[in-house]
Structure 1
């Protein structure tokens, strides 16, 4: 079976290689022509990717979402979190299983719920996510 080639930021590639662990990435669908890149579903990498597309400016400035098919107007400061909703990345409480669309909302849940105080955050990936695996990695490497 042929392996797919995923175009990712070199920093993401090297981090996967150093860690020896696979990572889930998502196809960029920002308007203006697809860039062909796959981006990790974190605020840091999405924010950097937006800057690479020239999407910058003051956090309070209103702007239209550049994601293909989205017509929402929002503040520039919330763009990264909004793009994460397009990627479909969600987080889940390891204690009770509640799923939230944003990390800050899940952290508030964990702080406010006595039974979830010791919970960890699990990431819930969408089926469109693709695995970026380190060189030489096989399923036998999973623990």
Structure 2
């Protein structure tokens, strides 16, 4: 079976190739002129991708979400975090297994739960994520 051909944000592709580690990517669904690229479901990658689309400005400025059919009004500084919820990216507590939809909610959980104070965040990929593997991976794994 041939792998699905997808177009990946060049920054994400470079990061995967340099690290040698796979990444989960999601298709950009920003309204307007679609770029057709897939971007990693991490805060830094989504934020950089938004800037590439011209979504920038002061963090406290009100704006509307332009992902898919969403039009929710929020602060510009919350846009990246909001888009991660569209992607379905979540965080699981390594101690108790509770799943939170955002990192700030996960931090609140570990701060309020004594047994979970030393927990780490385990990423839970969204349902539309695609695994992007570095080129070198194919040399060491049978496909």
Residue 24 in structure 1 maps to residue 24 in structure 2: yes
SS of 2:66's equivalent? coil
User: Are the counterparts in 1 of residues 88 and 127 from structure 2 also a CA contact under 8 Å?
Assistant: no
How many residue pairs were aligned? 140
Per-residue deviation, 1:6? 2.3
Per-residue deviation, 1:33? 3.0
Structure 1 segments of 4+ aligned residues over 3 angstroms from their partners = none
Per-residue deviation, 1:56? 1.2
SS of 2:131's equivalent? strand
Aligned to 1:129: 129
User: Are the counterparts in 2 of residues 6 and 132 from structure 1 also a CA contact under 8 Å?
Assistant: no
Aligned to 1:79: 79
SS of 1:91's equivalent? strand
Q: C-alpha separation between the residues in 2 aligned to 1:106 and 1:51?
A: 26
Residue 120 in structure 1 maps to residue 133 in structure 2: no
Q: C-alpha separation between the residues in 2 aligned to 1:120 and 1:59?
A: 28
SS of 2:96's equivalent? coil
Under a length normalisation based on structure 2, what TM-score does the superposition of the two structures give? 0.90
Structure 1: gaps of 5 or more residues: none
Aligned to 1:88: 88
Structure 2: gaps of 5 or more residues: none
Q: What root-mean-square deviation, in Å, do the aligned CA atoms of Structure 1 and Structure 2 show?
A: 1.5
Aligned to 1:98: 98
Out of 94-103 and 3-12, give the one that drifted further: 3-12
Per-residue deviation, 1:9? 2.4
Under a length normalisation based on structure 1, what TM-score does the superposition of the two structures give? 0.90
